[in-house]
Amino acid sequence: MSNTIGFLELNSVARGIYAADAMLKAADVKLLRASANCPGKYNILISGEVAAVNAAVEVGAQIGGPNVIEQLVIPRLHPQVIHAMGGTTMPDKLDAVGVLECFSITSSILAADSAVKATDVTLIDVRLGTGLGGKSFLVMTGDTAAVSEAVERAAAVVAKSGMLLETAIIPNPRKEIFEALL
């Protein structure tokens, strides 16, 4: 799998399905996710080589037109991010927990990539909007210093766009918190 992703969010389910099909026909990309989301949005997540992802997102944005809310291409995405977007991950070691909550999906993807590139943390989950009213969040674990640094750097990335809602760092969470996250 390539480490480049493309993301397109639209405010129309019908236009989103149409754009997803056009994106897959436009370039050699892999569909990671295409789904309706709260509140009545449609998200498309693809991966592939940089040029192919750029071409596919461009086509999707053209098809989406005024229905496009956000679009994003990230080359050299950290592998943990795609894995965590696919579902929760049980870390090898349970340690401090960091949580970052955003008003947009692209913000969480960018924040997650920044967090795992900044320090030695493990992403537990990157939740992209479903059941969250269009918001998103990421959860990570590691030693307290690493989690604090990762949350700080990720928050700085998201704060630039005004999409940061809240952060939390829990130095010594109860075991039940990890169980609830998984």
What pTM value is reported for the model? 0.81
Domain final residue, candidates 74, 96, 121: 74
Q: What is the pLDDT of residues 91-103, one digit of tens each?
A: 777 789 999 998 8
Do 50 and 86 belong to one domain?
no
Share of the chain above pLDDT 70, in %: 92
Domain final residue, candidates 59, 74, 89: 74
Do 58 and 127 belong to one domain?
no
The pLDDT of residue 87 is 67
Domains held by the chain: number: 2
Q: What is the pLDDT of residues 14-54, one digit of tens each?
A: 999 999 999 999 999 999 889 887 778 898 999 999 999 99
> Distances in Å between the alpha carbon of 42 and those of 25, 52, 53, 71, 131?
18, 21, 18, 12, 13
Do 37 and 112 belong to one domain?
no
| Residue 53 CA to its chain's centroid (Å) | 16
φ, ψ at 181 (rounded to 5°) = -75, -30
Domain final residue, candidates 74, 89, 121: 74
Mean pLDDT within 145-168:
93
Do 63 and 90 belong to one domain?
no
Domain CATH number, residue 61? 3.30.70.1710
